Amino acid sequence: SKAAVCSALDAGILIDDDLRHLRDAKAGRLVRVLLQHGREGQFHSRQDISFCRNWGDVLQLVERIG
């Protein structure tokens, strides 16, 4: 799974365009980001998944979380 790969690499963030992969990745400190270019409207998740519309948004998020 992608969560297992992130764990093996000691990655702190998982960026994916498929919400299913992010929902499956429930590793403790892993920051999960849904990236969907051009998506309109709001995104709501009760699973602590961040949403970005482009790579610039992802960079801003990464800078905020350090």
Q: What HEC string does 7-46 produce?
A: HHHCCCEEEECCHHHHHHCCCCCCEEEEECCCCCCCCCCC
**Residue 16: what pLDDT?**
93
Q: What is the dihedral of CA 13, 51, 60, 6, to 10 degrees?
A: 10
Residue 23 pLDDT: 84
Q: How high is the pLDDT of residue 4? A: 85
Task: Tell me the per-residue pLDDT of 25-39, one tens digit each, with 9 for 90 and over.
Answer: 776 788 999 998 777
Q: What is the mean pLDDT of the chain?
A: 85
